[in-house]
């Protein structure tokens, strides 16, 4: 068995086993709340193809826009804060408090201030997803190597170029870590903002099914959410591998895990 | 030529700057609603929020809710940490297990815990177990991953030494695995603690299980806006306390741990 | 005698921080004529790096000034290139060797063809023409330092500062790099200010050696090295004149150390 075949087999083995166990164990289930996996899988197509354009696609769009906004805001604020220790010291307690506010608890606030439209949902996503990006960007910018920074000064590399070729590149491993954490937060907040106060979206649909006791449909929605989360994390891995190619290769050469 | 001068000018400077920042934020929160940039109906002045906070603190319902939240948080965290440590230790100790479970973990981890909200509602209704379902599911993964990493990070030289001295499983666990895994375990507990609090509040808010989150929802639907903000502030302070507390715990335990390690080495 | 391209006038540097005041440099003055290779040597802690940073405009002296090409240095001046000791940290790990060398030139706004010509030539001169597509961490320590030197040469500076550039490589590589530097110096005629703690290296390479005392630093002597233009690792280093000069430098430094030990702070 070739190496890559083994790797694929290993990756599929346990999930496949668990899936099969779930299928078999639930097959003769008469529980209302835990229907057979067979029925859930059968309900997938009919449930989601009519709802794709009206619920799923807008949810994903909101997620992507909100996430992008969080990244831009986090990096945009993190870079200047990272380079100004006094400003950072002044804002530290405020930021510490703001980031400890659980974003779901802020949903009522945002609803009050911004109604229940798309703007509110986007703000909810941004308000939670910005923190890991912001904090990691600050750390990454702080940790820029000072010998490298001196080198840039000596060779007259300043301003926007310095930002591009030195600060952002050097901080990129840390920023990407923040972006990864922000992605899972963004997904959670997208769903919450829709479960709580909405008339459209994936989260809304799932809660609607639950309220209407359409159980297999509800479970199919839960699984769809899982697939969505999984697909996004794979996509992010691909992105990370490209952007941080130099970093991963360097760590490999140095023998770091 | 050197001269000595009294110590942390730096630490004090930072504390002063931080206090200024807080004062500035409070002032902003006071002024903005008063001058009408945002309607005070939706964003009450900071003083009104503090007033509502005072009123809450004198109501027994508030303290009951606080205890409920803490109960859900602590119980869920304990379960998640225990499960994470046990499973993580088992998986992390064998490379084969790590490889076999990697894909499953990678699939289950990104599933947003909120996806379980409808399931929790169906199964347990608005009770503690709903909260626990959400809290445990969300806090388990960071703990598991940290423990796997920590257990797998054992120093190869130390491990070879233990093997050559024929350490028992128990001895290996105690002298080999635990010291190297401890920093990761502590980091995992800290991360999980923060996540557990957020999920506890979420469960209470969305599902309606008893706790501060539920009170926030009640305040909102009864248009008690200053009280709502006050409760949110309390949750925020709770979060800060959890973060700061666990970070301090981490530092304390690791300081002892490092000093013990260097002693053992000499 | 050509007018000095670099003048260091009565540099005085005091560090004030962390509750202590440290006088790193008390009073330093010397000059560098165009095309000269001057070595600065002194014991560890002699403030050599501080001096270099003042000359490079990276830090400002407490009093005194540095004049380069007639203009006062007030921040890193154009036309100056620096090679640091820590090559691992002075090269951009996300750029290939070629891009590392090219970056300052691109920043200057030179046309593409010109940049390519200069970079290829510089890499060729340091013997790394084949390694241009490699990343710094794929290269050995000596090769990384060559990239840094190539970057400095391609920049076509009026003055090249080197801060203990070969202290972190093995002795064999150090000898190669010393000769490489001498070759580049002869071919390009660039002024070089070379800081080192290695007395042998200083005497081998320099036309003049500026001997520094330990902290608080002053110039002990400005010694002319009359070993001739052609230097050879074997022949020059085993010549009697080399031994004399070397002995003189060593003596100076030892005497300064003893004087400090006798009358200095505890």
Domain containing residue B95: 62-265
Optimal mutation site among B106, B202, B217, interface A, most CBs of chain A within 10 A: B202
Contact C90 A147 (CB under 8 A): yes
Confirm or reject contact between A230 and chain B (CB < 8 A). Answer: yes
| DSSP element (H, E) containing A65 | helix A57-82
Please give chain B's pLDDT, 266 residues, in tens: 333 333 345 678 888 888 888 888 888 888 888 887 777 778 888 888 889 999 988 889 999 999 999 999 999 999 999 999 999 988 888 888 888 888 788 778 777 888 888 888 888 888 899 999 999 999 999 899 889 888 877 777 777 888 888 878 788 777 778 878 888 888 889 989 988 999 999 999 888 899 999 999 898 888 888 899 999 999 999 999 999 999 898 888 888 776 655 544 43
Tell me the shortest Cα–Cα distance from C233 to chain B, in angstroms. 40
Residues 30-89 of C with CB under 8 A from A: 53, 56-58, 75-76, 78, 80-82, 84, 86, 89
Judge whether residue A219 has pLDDT over 60.
yes
User: What is the C-alpha to C-alpha distance for residues B233 and A125, in angstroms, rounded to an integer?
Assistant: 19
The DSSP call for residue C2 is P
Confidence of residue A106 (pLDDT cuts 50, 70, 90): confident
For residue A187, is it within any domain? yes
In angstroms, the Cα distances linking B81 to B109, B134, B170 are 16, 14, 21
Closest partner residue to B9 among C19, C216, C265, by Cβ?
C19
CATH number, domain containing residue A55: 1.10.3720.10
Confidence of residue C1 (pLDDT cuts 50, 70, 90): very low
Residues 15-54 of B with CB under 8 A from C: none
pLDDT at A65: 96
For residue B8, is it within any domain? no
Contact C21 B5 (CB under 8 A): yes
For residue B246, is it within any domain? yes
pLDDT at C230: 84
Optimal mutation site among C57, C107, C158, interface A, most CBs of chain A within 10 A: C107
Judge whether residue C266 has pLDDT over 50.
no
Among A173-182, B52-61, C16-25, which stretch is predicted with the lowest mean pLDDT? C16-25
pLDDT at A257: 58
How many domains are there within chain B?
Answer: 1
pLDDT at C175: 93
Model's pTM, two decimal places?
0.84
Contact C21 B1 (CB under 8 A): yes
List pLDDT tens digits, range C200-250.
999 999 999 999 988 788 888 899 888 888 888 888 898 999 999 999 999
How do beta strands C37-41 and C63-68 pair? unpaired
Contact A15 B107 (CB under 8 A): yes
For residue B2, is it within any domain? no
Confirm or reject contact between A145 and chain C (CB < 8 A). Answer: yes
Locate C171 and state its tokens.
Answer: 């002795």
Confirm or reject contact between B119 and chain A (CB < 8 A). Answer: yes
Confidence of residue C3 (pLDDT cuts 50, 70, 90): low
User: What is the C-alpha to C-alpha distance for residues A40 and A51, in angstroms, rounded to an integer?
Assistant: 16
User: What is the C-alpha to C-alpha distance for residues A137 and A160, in angstroms, rounded to an integer?
Assistant: 17
What is the residue-averaged pLDDT of chain A? 87
* DSSP state letters, A220-250: HHHHHHHHHHHHHHHHHHHHHHHHTHHHHHH
Contact call for residues C18 and C51 (beta carbons, < 8 A): no
Domain containing residue A119: 35-254
CA end-to-end span of chain C: 45
How many domains are there within chain A?
Answer: 1
Judge whether residue A256 has pLDDT over 70.
no
For residue A1, is it within any domain? no
pLDDT at B178: 81
Q: Which residue has the higher pLDDT, B246 or C260?
A: B246
Burial class (CB in 10 A: 0-12, 13-18, 19+), B183: middle
Confirm or reject contact between C138 and chain A (CB < 8 A). Answer: yes
Tell me the shortest Cα–Cα distance from A169 to chain B, in angstroms. 27
For residue A62, is it within any domain? yes
User: What is the C-alpha to C-alpha distance for residues B149 and B106, in angstroms, rounded to an integer?
Assistant: 14
User: What is the C-alpha to C-alpha distance for residues B160 and B166, in angstroms, rounded to an integer?
Assistant: 10
CATH number, domain containing residue B207: 1.10.3720.10
Confirm or reject contact between B42 and chain A (CB < 8 A). Answer: yes
Using DSSP, state whether C80 is helix, strand or coil.
strand
Contact call for residues A161 and A152 (beta carbons, < 8 A): no
State the average pLDDT over residues A16-43. 81
Chain B residues whose beta carbon lies within 8 Å of the beta carbon of residue C18: 10
Angle at B212 between CA B211 and CA B217, to 5 degrees: 100
In angstroms, the Cα distances linking A104 to A110, B10, B64, B199, B202 are 10, 37, 21, 9, 6
Burial class (CB in 10 A: 0-12, 13-18, 19+), B240: middle
For residue A196, is it within any domain? yes
Chain A residues whose beta carbon lies within 8 Å of the beta carbon of residue B194: 100
| CB neighbours of residue C63 within 10 Å | 12
pLDDT at A226: 82
For residue A4, is it within any domain? no
Using DSSP, state whether B161 is helix, strand or coil.
helix
pLDDT at C213: 86
**In terms of CA atoms, which chain B residue is nearest residue C26?**
B1
Confidence of residue C194 (pLDDT cuts 50, 70, 90): very high
Give me the percent of chain C exceeding a pLDDT of 90: 58
Among A13-17, B218-222, C6-10, which stretch is predicted with the lowest mean pLDDT? A13-17
For residue A165, is it within any domain? yes
Closest partner residue to A148 among C80, C90, C155, by Cβ?
C90
What is the residue-averaged pLDDT of chain C? 89
- For residues B71-90, b (16+ Cβ closer than 10 Å) or e, as one string? bbbebbbebbbebbbebbbe
- Tell me if ipTM is over 0.90: no
State the average pLDDT over residues C47-73. 90
The DSSP call for residue C28 is E
For residue A28, is it within any domain? no
**In terms of CA atoms, which chain B residue is nearest residue C265?**
B1
């Amino acid at each position: 068995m070739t190496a890559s075949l083994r790797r694929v087999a290993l990756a599929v083995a346990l999930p496949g086993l668990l899936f099969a166990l779930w299928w078999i164990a639930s097959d003769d289930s008469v529980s209302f709340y835990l229907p057979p996996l067979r029925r859930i899988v059968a309900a997938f197509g009919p449930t989601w193809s009519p709802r794709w354009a009206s619920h799923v696609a807008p949810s994903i769009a909101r997620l992507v826009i909100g996430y992008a906004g969080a990244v831009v805001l986090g990096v945009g604020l993190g870079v200047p804060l990272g380079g100004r220790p006094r400003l950072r010291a002044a804002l530290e307690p405020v930021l510490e408090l703001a980031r400890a506010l659980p974003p779901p608890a802020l949903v009522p606030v945002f609803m009050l201030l911004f109604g229940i439209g798309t703007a509110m949902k986007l703000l909810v996503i941004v308000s939670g997803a910005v923190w890991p990006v912001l904090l990691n960007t600050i750390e990454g910018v702080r940790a820029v190597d000072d010998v490298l920074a001196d080198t840039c000064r000596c060779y007259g590399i300043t301003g926007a170029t310095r930002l591009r070729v030195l600060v952002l590149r050097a901080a990129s491993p840390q920023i990407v870590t923040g972006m990864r954490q922000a992605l899972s937060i963004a997904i959670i907040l997208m769903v919450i903002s829709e479960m709580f106060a909405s008339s459209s979206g994936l989260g809304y649909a799932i809660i609607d099914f639950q309220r209407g006791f359409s159980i297999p449909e509800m479970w199919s929605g839960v699984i769809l959410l899982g697939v969505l989360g999984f697909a996004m994390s794979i996509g992010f891995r691909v992105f990370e591998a490209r952007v941080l190619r130099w970093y991963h290769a360097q760590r490999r050469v140095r023998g770091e895990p | 030529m050197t001269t000595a001068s009294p110590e942390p000018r730096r630490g004090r400077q930072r504390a002063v700057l931080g206090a200024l920042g807080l004062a500035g934020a409070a002032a902003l929160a006071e002024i903005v609603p008063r001058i009408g940039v945002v309607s005070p109906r939706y964003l009450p002045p900071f003083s009104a929020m503090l007033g509502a906070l005072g009123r809450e603190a004198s109501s027994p319902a508030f303290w009951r809710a606080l205890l409920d939240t803490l109960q859900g948080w602590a119980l869920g965290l304990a379960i998640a940490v225990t499960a994470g440590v046990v499973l993580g230790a088992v998986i992390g100790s064998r490379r084969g297990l790590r490889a076999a479970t990697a894909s499953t973990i990678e699939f289950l981890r990104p599933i947003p815990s909120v996806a379980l909200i409808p399931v929790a509602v169906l199964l347990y209704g608005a009770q503690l177990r709903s909260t626990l379902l959400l809290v445990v599911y969300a806090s388990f993964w960071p703990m598991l991953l940290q423990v796997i990493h920590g257990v797998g990070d054992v120093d190869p030289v130390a491990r070879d030494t233990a093997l050559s001295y024929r350490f028992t499983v128990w001895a290996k666990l105690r002298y080999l695995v635990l010291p190297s895994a401890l920093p990761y375990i502590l980091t995992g507990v800290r991360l999980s603690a923060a996540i557990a609090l957020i999920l506890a509040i979420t469960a209470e808010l969305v599902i309606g299980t008893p706790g501060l989150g539920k009170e926030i929802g009640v305040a909102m639907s009864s248009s008690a806006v200053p009280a709502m903000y006050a409760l949110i502030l309390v949750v925020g302070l709770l979060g800060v306390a959890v973060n700061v507390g666990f970070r301090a715990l981490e530092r304390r335990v690791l300081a002892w741990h490092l000093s013990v390690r260097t002693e053992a080495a000499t | 005698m050509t007018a000095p391209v670099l003048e260091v006038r009565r540099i005085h540097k005091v560090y004030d921080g962390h509750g202590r005041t440290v006088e790193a440099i008390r009073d330093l003055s010397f000059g560098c004529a165009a095309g000269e290779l001057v070595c600065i040597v002194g014991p560890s802690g002699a403030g050599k790096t501080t001096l270099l940073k003042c000359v490079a405009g990276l830090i400002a002296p407490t009093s005194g000034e540095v004049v380069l090409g007639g203009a006062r240095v007030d921040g890193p001046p154009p036309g100056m290139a620096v090679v640091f000791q820590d090559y691992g940290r002075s090269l951009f790990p996300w750029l290939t060797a070629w891009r590392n060398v090219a970056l300052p030139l691109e920043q200057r706004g030179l046309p593409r063809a010109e940049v390519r010509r200069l970079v290829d030539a510089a890499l060729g001169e340091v013997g790394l023409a084949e390694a241009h597509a490699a990343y710094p961490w794929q290269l050995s320590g000596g090769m990384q330092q060559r990239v840094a030197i190539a970057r400095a040469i391609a920049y076509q500076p009026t003055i090249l500062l080197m801060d203990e550039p070969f202290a972190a490589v093995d002795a064999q590589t150090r000898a190669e790099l010393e000769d490489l530097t001498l070759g580049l110096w002869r071919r390009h005629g660039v002024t070089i200010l070379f800081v080192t703690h290695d007395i042998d290296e200083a005497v081998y390479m320099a036309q003049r050696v500026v001997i520094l005392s330990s902290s608080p630093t002053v110039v002990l002597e400005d010694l002319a090295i009359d070993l001739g233009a052609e230097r050879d690792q074997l022949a020059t280093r085993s010549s009697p004149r080399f031994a004399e000069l070397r002995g003189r430098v060593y003596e100076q430094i030892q005497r300064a150390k003893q004087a400090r030990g006798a009358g200095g702070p505890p």
